[in-house]
Structure 1
Amino acid sequence: MNPVDRVVFSLDWITITLFLSMILLTLGKYLFQSRFMNFMILPFNDKYILLHNKKGQLLNWFHILLTLFQLLNLSLFLFLIQKHLLAAPLGDDQIAFFWILGFLTLFELAKLGVQYLKGFIFETSHLISELIFHKISYLNFSSLIMLIGNIVVIYILNDSKMVIYATILLVLAINGIGVIKLLKNYQKALIPHVLYFILYLCTLEIAPLVLIGSYLKD
Protein backbone atom coordinates (compact mmCIF):
# COMPACT_ATOMS: atom_id res chain seq x y z
CA MET A 1 0.00 0.00 0.00
CA ASN A 2 1.49 3.29 -1.12
CA PRO A 3 1.15 6.34 1.13
CA VAL A 4 -1.09 9.12 -0.22
CA ASP A 5 -0.39 12.73 0.63
CA ARG A 6 -3.39 14.57 2.01
CA VAL A 7 -3.20 18.35 2.06
CA VAL A 8 -5.29 19.99 4.78
CA PHE A 9 -5.67 23.75 4.67
CA SER A 10 -5.37 25.12 8.18
CA LEU A 11 -7.94 27.64 9.36
CA ASP A 12 -6.23 28.13 12.70
CA TRP A 13 -5.22 31.73 12.11
CA ILE A 14 -8.71 32.64 10.86
CA THR A 15 -10.31 30.97 13.87
CA ILE A 16 -7.97 32.89 16.19
CA THR A 17 -8.79 36.16 14.40
CA LEU A 18 -12.54 35.61 14.68
CA PHE A 19 -12.23 34.47 18.29
CA LEU A 20 -10.19 37.57 19.15
CA SER A 21 -12.76 39.83 17.50
CA MET A 22 -15.56 38.16 19.48
CA ILE A 23 -13.59 38.67 22.69
CA LEU A 24 -13.44 42.40 21.90
CA LEU A 25 -17.20 42.43 21.25
CA THR A 26 -17.89 40.52 24.47
CA LEU A 27 -15.71 42.90 26.48
CA GLY A 28 -17.62 45.84 25.05
CA LYS A 29 -20.93 44.25 26.04
CA TYR A 30 -19.75 43.20 29.50
CA LEU A 31 -18.02 46.47 30.47
CA PHE A 32 -20.51 48.87 28.87
CA GLN A 33 -23.87 47.09 28.93
CA SER A 34 -26.12 50.14 28.62
CA ARG A 35 -24.02 51.66 25.86
CA PHE A 36 -23.89 48.31 24.05
CA MET A 37 -27.69 47.97 24.08
CA ASN A 38 -28.03 51.45 22.57
CA PHE A 39 -25.39 50.56 19.99
CA MET A 40 -27.25 47.41 18.91
CA ILE A 41 -30.27 49.44 17.70
CA LEU A 42 -28.14 52.11 16.01
CA PRO A 43 -29.67 51.91 12.48
CA PHE A 44 -33.19 52.15 13.89
CA ASN A 45 -32.69 54.66 16.69
CA ASP A 46 -30.36 57.66 17.15
CA LYS A 47 -30.15 57.24 20.93
CA TYR A 48 -26.57 55.96 20.82
CA ILE A 49 -25.36 58.93 18.75
CA LEU A 50 -27.31 61.49 20.78
CA LEU A 51 -26.10 60.18 24.14
CA HIS A 52 -22.46 59.56 23.32
CA ASN A 53 -21.53 62.03 20.58
CA LYS A 54 -19.58 64.46 22.73
CA LYS A 55 -16.01 65.65 23.22
CA GLY A 56 -13.59 62.80 23.71
CA GLN A 57 -16.01 60.17 22.40
CA LEU A 58 -13.42 58.68 20.02
CA LEU A 59 -11.14 57.87 22.96
CA ASN A 60 -13.85 56.08 24.91
CA TRP A 61 -12.90 52.45 25.60
CA PHE A 62 -16.18 51.11 24.22
CA HIS A 63 -15.60 52.92 20.94
CA ILE A 64 -11.98 51.72 20.83
CA LEU A 65 -12.99 48.07 21.43
CA LEU A 66 -15.65 48.19 18.72
CA THR A 67 -13.27 49.89 16.29
CA LEU A 68 -10.68 47.14 16.83
CA PHE A 69 -13.48 44.60 16.30
CA GLN A 70 -14.36 46.39 13.07
CA LEU A 71 -10.76 46.44 11.81
CA LEU A 72 -10.34 42.68 12.30
CA ASN A 73 -13.60 41.75 10.60
CA LEU A 74 -13.30 44.30 7.79
CA SER A 75 -9.75 43.08 7.06
CA LEU A 76 -10.89 39.46 7.01
CA PHE A 77 -13.87 40.32 4.82
CA LEU A 78 -11.68 42.20 2.33
CA PHE A 79 -9.36 39.19 2.35
CA LEU A 80 -12.30 36.93 1.43
CA ILE A 81 -13.41 39.32 -1.31
CA GLN A 82 -9.95 39.38 -2.82
CA LYS A 83 -9.59 35.61 -2.54
CA HIS A 84 -13.02 34.42 -3.72
CA LEU A 85 -14.51 37.23 -5.83
CA LEU A 86 -11.43 38.69 -7.47
CA ALA A 87 -9.46 35.43 -7.46
CA ALA A 88 -6.28 37.42 -6.87
CA PRO A 89 -3.01 35.52 -6.27
CA LEU A 90 -2.43 36.28 -2.59
CA GLY A 91 0.54 34.03 -1.86
CA ASP A 92 0.51 33.05 1.80
CA ASP A 93 -3.03 33.70 3.12
CA GLN A 94 -1.94 34.67 6.61
CA ILE A 95 0.62 37.18 5.37
CA ALA A 96 -1.93 38.64 2.92
CA PHE A 97 -4.43 39.14 5.75
CA PHE A 98 -1.90 40.94 7.94
CA TRP A 99 -0.92 43.15 5.01
CA ILE A 100 -4.58 44.14 4.62
CA LEU A 101 -4.98 44.66 8.38
CA GLY A 102 -1.83 46.79 8.56
CA PHE A 103 -2.85 48.85 5.54
CA LEU A 104 -6.35 49.51 6.94
CA THR A 105 -4.99 50.45 10.36
CA LEU A 106 -2.45 52.91 8.94
CA PHE A 107 -5.01 54.24 6.48
CA GLU A 108 -7.59 54.92 9.21
CA LEU A 109 -5.01 56.59 11.47
CA ALA A 110 -3.73 58.77 8.62
CA LYS A 111 -7.28 59.64 7.61
CA LEU A 112 -8.16 60.66 11.17
CA GLY A 113 -5.08 62.84 11.32
CA VAL A 114 -5.93 64.60 8.07
CA GLN A 115 -9.55 65.08 9.12
CA TYR A 116 -8.60 66.67 12.42
CA LEU A 117 -5.97 68.83 10.71
CA LYS A 118 -8.58 70.05 8.24
CA GLY A 119 -10.99 70.75 11.11
CA PHE A 120 -8.30 72.75 12.89
CA ILE A 121 -7.44 74.76 9.77
CA PHE A 122 -11.05 75.62 8.95
CA GLU A 123 -12.05 75.96 12.63
CA THR A 124 -14.59 73.14 12.41
CA SER A 125 -12.91 70.69 14.80
CA HIS A 126 -16.04 70.04 16.86
CA LEU A 127 -18.15 69.38 13.77
CA ILE A 128 -15.49 67.12 12.23
CA SER A 129 -15.23 65.17 15.49
CA GLU A 130 -18.98 64.55 15.53
CA LEU A 131 -19.02 63.51 11.87
CA ILE A 132 -16.15 61.05 12.45
CA PHE A 133 -17.87 59.53 15.48
CA HIS A 134 -21.15 59.15 13.57
CA LYS A 135 -19.48 57.55 10.55
CA ILE A 136 -17.24 55.16 12.50
CA SER A 137 -20.16 54.11 14.72
CA TYR A 138 -22.13 52.94 11.67
CA LEU A 139 -19.06 51.22 10.23
CA ASN A 140 -18.55 49.48 13.58
CA PHE A 141 -22.17 48.32 13.55
CA SER A 142 -21.87 47.01 9.99
CA SER A 143 -18.87 44.95 11.12
CA LEU A 144 -21.39 42.78 13.02
CA ILE A 145 -22.77 41.84 9.60
CA MET A 146 -19.24 41.21 8.37
CA LEU A 147 -18.61 38.89 11.32
CA ILE A 148 -21.66 36.79 10.42
CA GLY A 149 -20.69 36.83 6.73
CA ASN A 150 -17.12 35.78 7.54
CA ILE A 151 -18.30 32.87 9.69
CA VAL A 152 -20.81 31.65 7.07
CA VAL A 153 -18.33 31.87 4.17
CA ILE A 154 -15.50 30.19 6.08
CA TYR A 155 -17.26 27.48 8.07
CA ILE A 156 -20.77 26.87 6.70
CA LEU A 157 -21.22 27.73 3.01
CA ASN A 158 -17.59 27.48 2.00
CA ASP A 159 -16.45 30.14 -0.49
CA SER A 160 -20.07 31.22 -1.18
CA LYS A 161 -20.01 34.24 -3.47
CA MET A 162 -23.72 34.79 -2.84
CA VAL A 163 -23.08 35.29 0.88
CA ILE A 164 -20.25 37.72 0.14
CA TYR A 165 -22.47 39.76 -2.21
CA ALA A 166 -25.32 39.75 0.32
CA THR A 167 -22.94 40.92 3.06
CA ILE A 168 -21.65 43.74 0.84
CA LEU A 169 -25.22 44.90 0.13
CA LEU A 170 -26.15 44.86 3.82
CA VAL A 171 -22.99 46.74 4.80
CA LEU A 172 -23.66 49.39 2.12
CA ALA A 173 -27.29 49.65 3.24
CA ILE A 174 -26.35 50.18 6.90
CA ASN A 175 -23.74 52.81 6.09
CA GLY A 176 -26.17 54.41 3.62
CA ILE A 177 -28.66 54.79 6.46
CA GLY A 178 -25.88 56.36 8.49
CA VAL A 179 -25.11 58.91 5.76
CA ILE A 180 -28.79 59.82 5.36
CA LYS A 181 -29.21 60.31 9.11
CA LEU A 182 -25.97 62.30 9.27
CA LEU A 183 -27.19 64.70 6.58
CA LYS A 184 -30.58 64.97 8.29
CA ASN A 185 -29.20 65.56 11.80
CA TYR A 186 -26.43 67.94 10.79
CA GLN A 187 -28.01 69.83 7.90
CA LYS A 188 -28.11 73.12 9.84
CA ALA A 189 -24.49 72.77 10.89
CA LEU A 190 -23.32 71.68 7.44
CA ILE A 191 -24.99 74.45 5.43
CA PRO A 192 -22.51 77.17 6.54
CA HIS A 193 -19.64 74.78 5.73
CA VAL A 194 -21.09 73.12 2.64
CA LEU A 195 -17.96 73.72 0.53
CA TYR A 196 -15.75 72.19 3.21
CA PHE A 197 -18.12 69.24 3.50
CA ILE A 198 -18.02 68.61 -0.26
CA LEU A 199 -14.22 68.80 -0.15
CA TYR A 200 -14.25 66.38 2.79
CA LEU A 201 -16.42 63.89 0.89
CA CYS A 202 -14.32 64.04 -2.27
CA THR A 203 -10.88 63.83 -0.68
CA LEU A 204 -11.46 61.65 2.39
CA GLU A 205 -14.46 59.48 1.57
CA ILE A 206 -14.87 58.92 -2.17
CA ALA A 207 -11.20 59.01 -3.26
CA PRO A 208 -10.05 56.39 -0.70
CA LEU A 209 -12.81 54.01 -1.80
CA VAL A 210 -11.67 54.36 -5.40
CA LEU A 211 -8.05 53.69 -4.41
CA ILE A 212 -8.96 50.62 -2.32
CA GLY A 213 -11.19 49.27 -5.09
CA SER A 214 -8.39 49.71 -7.61
CA TYR A 215 -5.93 47.98 -5.27
CA LEU A 216 -8.19 44.98 -4.72
CA LYS A 217 -8.91 44.73 -8.43
CA ASP A 218 -5.22 44.79 -9.36
Structure 2
Amino acid sequence: MLVVSLVVIALAKLTSPKRFNDFVTVLGNSKYLKIYAREQKFLDRFDALLFTNLIISLSLFSYIVYGFFTETRVISVDTMFKLSFGICVYILIKVFVERLIGSLMEIDEMIDQYLFQKISYKNYLGLVLIPVNAFLLFSFKPTLTFFYVIVILLFIVIITGLITSIKAYQSLIKHNFFYFILYLCALEIAPGIILYKVFISK
Protein backbone atom coordinates (compact mmCIF):
# COMPACT_ATOMS: atom_id res chain seq x y z
CA MET A 1 0.00 0.00 0.00
CA LEU A 2 2.92 2.32 0.71
CA VAL A 3 4.36 1.56 -2.72
CA VAL A 4 1.01 2.29 -4.38
CA SER A 5 0.81 5.62 -2.50
CA LEU A 6 4.30 6.58 -3.66
CA VAL A 7 3.47 5.62 -7.26
CA VAL A 8 0.28 7.70 -7.15
CA ILE A 9 2.15 10.73 -5.77
CA ALA A 10 4.87 10.26 -8.40
CA LEU A 11 2.20 10.22 -11.13
CA ALA A 12 0.66 13.42 -9.72
CA LYS A 13 4.05 15.15 -9.82
CA LEU A 14 4.82 13.76 -13.27
CA THR A 15 1.55 14.96 -14.79
CA SER A 16 1.57 18.41 -13.13
CA PRO A 17 5.06 19.23 -11.77
CA LYS A 18 4.48 22.97 -11.22
CA ARG A 19 1.11 22.42 -9.56
CA PHE A 20 2.58 19.71 -7.34
CA ASN A 21 5.39 22.03 -6.18
CA ASP A 22 2.81 24.70 -5.34
CA PHE A 23 0.65 22.12 -3.57
CA VAL A 24 3.49 20.99 -1.29
CA THR A 25 3.67 24.51 0.19
CA VAL A 26 -0.11 24.91 0.63
CA LEU A 27 0.10 24.73 4.43
CA GLY A 28 2.02 27.99 4.73
CA ASN A 29 1.19 29.63 1.43
CA SER A 30 -2.22 30.39 -0.08
CA LYS A 31 -0.76 30.74 -3.61
CA TYR A 32 -1.93 27.26 -4.59
CA LEU A 33 -5.50 27.92 -3.44
CA LYS A 34 -5.72 31.29 -5.22
CA ILE A 35 -4.34 30.05 -8.53
CA TYR A 36 -5.89 26.62 -8.92
CA ALA A 37 -9.32 27.32 -7.41
CA ARG A 38 -10.12 29.22 -10.63
CA GLU A 39 -8.94 26.31 -12.78
CA GLN A 40 -10.70 23.50 -10.95
CA LYS A 41 -12.90 21.00 -12.77
CA PHE A 42 -15.51 18.56 -11.52
CA LEU A 43 -13.21 15.67 -12.50
CA ASP A 44 -9.62 16.78 -11.99
CA ARG A 45 -6.86 14.22 -12.63
CA PHE A 46 -4.39 15.84 -10.22
CA ASP A 47 -6.90 15.99 -7.35
CA ALA A 48 -8.10 12.46 -8.15
CA LEU A 49 -4.56 11.09 -7.78
CA LEU A 50 -4.02 12.93 -4.49
CA PHE A 51 -7.43 11.78 -3.25
CA THR A 52 -6.50 8.18 -4.07
CA ASN A 53 -3.39 8.57 -1.96
CA LEU A 54 -5.46 10.09 0.85
CA ILE A 55 -7.79 7.07 0.94
CA ILE A 56 -4.88 4.59 0.93
CA SER A 57 -2.80 6.47 3.52
CA LEU A 58 -5.75 7.18 5.83
CA SER A 59 -6.94 3.56 5.63
CA LEU A 60 -3.48 2.25 6.44
CA PHE A 61 -3.05 4.66 9.35
CA SER A 62 -6.51 3.77 10.70
CA TYR A 63 -5.67 0.08 10.55
CA ILE A 64 -2.33 0.64 12.31
CA VAL A 65 -4.16 2.48 15.10
CA TYR A 66 -6.78 -0.29 15.24
CA GLY A 67 -4.05 -2.94 15.37
CA PHE A 68 -2.28 -1.08 18.19
CA PHE A 69 -5.34 -0.96 20.43
CA THR A 70 -6.58 -4.48 19.60
CA GLU A 71 -3.11 -6.06 19.33
CA THR A 72 -3.92 -7.34 15.84
CA ARG A 73 -0.78 -8.47 14.03
CA VAL A 74 -2.16 -9.74 10.70
CA ILE A 75 -3.54 -7.28 8.15
CA SER A 76 -6.63 -8.69 6.47
CA VAL A 77 -7.04 -7.71 2.82
CA ASP A 78 -10.82 -7.88 3.18
CA THR A 79 -10.76 -5.58 6.21
CA MET A 80 -8.45 -3.11 4.46
CA PHE A 81 -10.73 -3.03 1.43
CA LYS A 82 -13.83 -2.41 3.57
CA LEU A 83 -12.00 0.31 5.52
CA SER A 84 -10.80 2.05 2.34
CA PHE A 85 -14.26 1.79 0.76
CA GLY A 86 -15.94 3.17 3.89
CA ILE A 87 -13.59 6.16 4.15
CA CYS A 88 -13.96 6.90 0.42
CA VAL A 89 -17.76 6.73 0.53
CA TYR A 90 -17.92 8.88 3.69
CA ILE A 91 -15.82 11.69 2.17
CA LEU A 92 -17.60 11.60 -1.20
CA ILE A 93 -21.07 11.65 0.36
CA LYS A 94 -20.08 14.72 2.42
CA VAL A 95 -18.82 16.48 -0.71
CA PHE A 96 -21.98 15.65 -2.70
CA VAL A 97 -24.25 16.81 0.14
CA GLU A 98 -22.35 20.10 0.41
CA ARG A 99 -22.56 20.59 -3.36
CA LEU A 100 -26.30 19.88 -3.20
CA ILE A 101 -26.75 22.45 -0.44
CA GLY A 102 -24.76 24.97 -2.49
CA SER A 103 -26.97 24.31 -5.51
CA LEU A 104 -30.20 24.61 -3.51
CA MET A 105 -29.05 27.88 -1.91
CA GLU A 106 -27.69 29.14 -5.26
CA ILE A 107 -24.16 29.68 -3.94
CA ASP A 108 -22.48 27.11 -6.18
CA GLU A 109 -19.39 29.20 -6.94
CA MET A 110 -18.63 29.92 -3.28
CA ILE A 111 -19.22 26.29 -2.25
CA ASP A 112 -16.98 25.05 -5.08
CA GLN A 113 -14.12 27.27 -3.91
CA TYR A 114 -14.69 26.30 -0.28
CA LEU A 115 -14.72 22.58 -1.12
CA PHE A 116 -11.57 23.00 -3.21
CA GLN A 117 -9.82 24.43 -0.13
CA LYS A 118 -11.10 21.64 2.11
CA ILE A 119 -10.18 18.87 -0.32
CA SER A 120 -6.72 20.39 -0.86
CA TYR A 121 -5.96 20.28 2.86
CA LYS A 122 -7.31 16.75 3.17
CA ASN A 123 -5.11 15.66 0.28
CA TYR A 124 -2.20 17.28 2.08
CA LEU A 125 -2.99 15.03 5.04
CA GLY A 126 -2.55 12.05 2.73
CA LEU A 127 0.90 13.33 1.82
CA VAL A 128 1.87 13.75 5.49
CA LEU A 129 0.67 10.25 6.35
CA ILE A 130 3.02 8.48 3.89
CA PRO A 131 6.20 8.95 6.00
CA VAL A 132 4.17 8.52 9.20
CA ASN A 133 2.90 5.11 8.06
CA ALA A 134 6.38 4.10 6.93
CA PHE A 135 7.83 4.92 10.37
CA LEU A 136 5.03 3.10 12.17
CA LEU A 137 5.40 -0.03 10.05
CA PHE A 138 9.17 -0.35 9.68
CA SER A 139 11.12 1.87 12.08
CA PHE A 140 9.82 1.51 15.61
CA LYS A 141 7.00 0.15 17.70
CA PRO A 142 4.22 2.74 17.99
CA THR A 143 3.28 4.16 21.39
CA LEU A 144 0.17 5.93 22.64
CA THR A 145 2.13 9.19 22.98
CA PHE A 146 3.25 8.98 19.37
CA PHE A 147 -0.35 8.51 18.20
CA TYR A 148 -1.40 11.57 20.19
CA VAL A 149 1.35 13.62 18.54
CA ILE A 150 0.30 12.46 15.06
CA VAL A 151 -3.40 13.16 15.73
CA ILE A 152 -2.51 16.67 16.97
CA LEU A 153 -0.43 17.22 13.84
CA LEU A 154 -3.34 16.14 11.63
CA PHE A 155 -5.71 18.43 13.53
CA ILE A 156 -3.32 21.35 12.99
CA VAL A 157 -3.52 20.77 9.23
CA ILE A 158 -7.34 20.57 9.35
CA ILE A 159 -7.66 23.68 11.56
CA THR A 160 -5.26 25.60 9.29
CA GLY A 161 -7.54 24.77 6.37
CA LEU A 162 -10.62 25.87 8.32
CA ILE A 163 -9.01 29.18 9.35
CA THR A 164 -7.98 29.83 5.74
CA SER A 165 -11.57 29.26 4.59
CA ILE A 166 -12.97 31.50 7.35
CA LYS A 167 -10.55 34.29 6.38
CA ALA A 168 -11.52 33.98 2.72
CA TYR A 169 -15.25 34.25 3.48
CA GLN A 170 -15.25 36.24 6.74
CA SER A 171 -17.51 39.02 5.42
CA LEU A 172 -20.07 36.48 4.20
CA ILE A 173 -19.84 34.51 7.47
CA LYS A 174 -20.48 37.66 9.55
CA HIS A 175 -23.77 38.23 7.75
CA ASN A 176 -24.79 34.57 7.98
CA PHE A 177 -23.20 33.56 11.28
CA PHE A 178 -26.14 31.41 12.41
CA TYR A 179 -26.10 29.37 9.18
CA PHE A 180 -22.32 28.99 9.43
CA ILE A 181 -22.59 27.56 12.96
CA LEU A 182 -25.44 25.33 11.80
CA TYR A 183 -23.28 24.10 8.93
CA LEU A 184 -20.34 23.33 11.25
CA CYS A 185 -22.56 21.38 13.63
CA ALA A 186 -24.47 19.45 10.95
CA LEU A 187 -21.79 18.64 8.37
CA GLU A 188 -18.46 18.91 10.18
CA ILE A 189 -18.89 18.07 13.87
CA ALA A 190 -21.92 15.72 13.91
CA PRO A 191 -20.56 13.12 11.42
CA GLY A 192 -17.31 12.88 13.39
CA ILE A 193 -19.16 12.38 16.68
CA ILE A 194 -21.43 9.73 15.13
CA LEU A 195 -18.43 7.80 13.77
CA TYR A 196 -16.67 8.08 17.13
CA LYS A 197 -19.73 6.70 18.95
CA VAL A 198 -20.06 3.85 16.43
CA PHE A 199 -16.44 2.75 16.90
CA ILE A 200 -16.51 3.22 20.69
CA SER A 201 -19.70 1.15 21.00
CA LYS A 202 -17.93 -1.71 19.20
TM-score, length of structure 1 as denominator length: 0.84
Aligned partner of residue 176 in structure 2, secondary structure: helix
Task: Name 1:62's counterpart in structure 2.
Answer: 46
Tell me the distance in 1 between the aligned counterparts of 2:187 and 2:73: 27
Task: Name 1:37's counterpart in structure 2.
Answer: 21
User: Structure 1 vs Structure 2: percent identity of aligned residues?
Assistant: 26
Tell me the distance in 1 between the aligned counterparts of 2:178 and 2:41: 26
Unaligned runs of 5+ in 1: 1-16
Task: Name 2:118's counterpart in structure 1.
Answer: 135
Task: Name 1:188's counterpart in structure 2.
Answer: 171
* Residues 1:147 and 2:130 are matched in the alignment: yes
Tell me the distance in 1 between the aligned counterparts of 2:198 and 2:129: 20
Which shows bigger deviation, 160-169 or 89-98?
89-98
Tell me the distance in 2 between the aligned counterparts of 1:31 and 1:92: 32
| Residues 125 and 196 (structure 1), Cα distance of their counterparts in 2 relative to 1, 3 Å cut | farther
| Residues 43 and 58 (structure 1), Cα distance of their counterparts in 2 relative to 1, 3 Å cut | farther
In structure 2, what residue type is equivalent to 1:138? Answer: Y
Residue in structure 1 matching 2:142, options 139, 159, 162: 159
* Residues 1:25 and 2:14 are matched in the alignment: no
Please list, as runs of the form range in 1=range in 2, the aligned pairs for 1:98-117 lying within 5 A after superposition. 98-117=81-100
Q: Displacement, 1:47?
A: 0.3
Bigger Rg, which one: 1
Unaligned runs of 5+ in 2: none
- Deviant stretches of 4+, over 4 Å: 88-92
Tell me the distance in 1 between the aligned counterparts of 2:73 and 2:91: 23
Task: Name 1:178's counterpart in structure 2.
Answer: 161
Q: Displacement, 1:25?
A: 0.5
Q: Displacement, 1:215?
A: 2.9
Tell me the distance in 2 between the aligned counterparts of 1:147 and 1:186: 32
Tell me the distance in 2 between the aligned counterparts of 1:139 and 1:147: 13
Residue in structure 2 matching 1:72, options 39, 50, 56: 56
In structure 2, what residue type is equivalent to 1:198? Answer: I
Contact 1:149 1:164 in 2 (8 A): no
Q: Displacement, 1:126?
A: 1.3
Contact 1:116 1:125 in 2 (8 A): yes
In structure 2, what residue type is equivalent to 1:120? Answer: S
In structure 1, what residue type is equivalent to 2:81? Answer: F
Q: Displacement, 1:89?
A: 6.8
Q: Displacement, 1:212?
A: 2.1
Tell me the distance in 2 between the aligned counterparts of 1:87 and 1:61: 37
Task: Name 2:151's counterpart in structure 1.
Answer: 168
What do the CA deviations read for 1:81-126 (whole angstroms, capped 9, x no partner)?
A: 2221x32779863222211111111112211211111111111111
Q: How many residues align?
A: 201
Which shows bigger deviation, 154-163 or 93-102?
154-163
Contact 1:153 1:164 in 2 (8 A): no
Task: Name 1:7's counterpart in structure 2.
Answer: none
